[in-house]
Chains A and B, each alone.
Chain A
Amino acid sequence: DARVTQTPRHKVTEMGQEVTMRCQPILGHNTVFWYRQTMMQGLELLAYFRNRAPLDDSGMPKDRFSAEMPDATLATLKIQPSEPRDSAVYFCASGLVASTSYNSPLHFGNGTRLTVT
């Protein structure tokens, strides 16, 4: 069963430190998403890529967050410097999306639970 793999599962860090979260999408999927889940805001889309090109990162705080796809098997989400308000669960999801078919179900990873103290 193909899965989206996220590492680490848990991360505790101090304010000001750099945090990097990694995601391995399902092989063959061309679209990768980063979502953040908090109690207050629910599930928010941070950014997404198609064929490794960033399509939308309007949900990300630009000054501290960055998302990249160095290759088709790896997506990264980086926070520098981290702040306590960044504490959340960060999900990566992938899907196979064509221009004529935008409704492909997304497959989510298990998430990275980030705690910034």
Chain B
Amino acid sequence: AQKVTQAQTEISVVEKEDVTLDCVYETRDTTYYLFWYKQPPSGELVFLIRRNSFDEQNEISGRYSWNFQKSTSSFNFTITASQVVDSAVYFCALITKTSGSRLTFGEGTQLTVNP
């Protein structure tokens, strides 16, 4: 069985602060993919990134960066110089070869960036 844990239910920061959202996953599969999705107040789920289990290189996209560490089964997401528009619920998700196409989502982290 697969499981994704986002221990931080809510995070509140002031604009321009850096913030890291934690994600820990569990799976017995050796082949899997990890995702992050953003759910802004408007409600839709927006795909941010996909990472496969064989690629532990960190990734940076503008103010976003992701740190994947298989040794700790973590796939953390950092926003640098946060902005009010970053306020949203962020979901980490896992898909494995044996789970087929089914995504397992974490509980989500509500990020609030205050001006």
A interface with B by C-beta (< 8 Å)? 31, 33, 42-43, 45, 48, 50, 55-56, 89, 91, 93, 95, 97, 102-111, 113
Contacts and interface: CB of A to CB of B under 8 A. Distances in A.
Contact of A102 (B46, B47, B95, B108): B95
B50 A105 contact: yes
A76 B85 CA distance: 33
Contacts of B47: 105-107
B105 A108 contact: no
26 contacts: A33-B102, A42-B106, A43-B91, A43-B105, A43-B108, A48-B102, A50-B101, A55-B101, A89-B43, A91-B45, A93-B45, A95-B101, A102-B97, A102-B100, A102-B101, A103-B52, A103-B95, A104-B101, A105-B35, A105-B47, A105-B50, A106-B103, A108-B44, A108-B46, A110-B44, A111-B43
Contacts, number: 51
B42 A45 contact: no
Contacts of B33: 103
Nearest to A30: B101
A91 B35 CA distance: 17
Nearest to B104: A45
Interface residues of B, number: 22
Contact of B42 (A42, A102, A107, A110): A110
Interface of B is mostly: loop
Nearest to A108: B45
B86 interface: no
Interface in B21-44: 33, 35, 37, 42-44
Contacts of A113: 43
Most buried by A among B45, B50, B97, B101: B101
Contacts of A55: 100-101
A76 to B, nearest CB: 20
Given A91-B45, A108-B45, A42 B101 contact: no
Q: Which 3 A-B pairs have the closest CB atoms?
A: A108-B45, A103-B33, A43-B105
B101 A97 contact: yes
B107 interface: yes
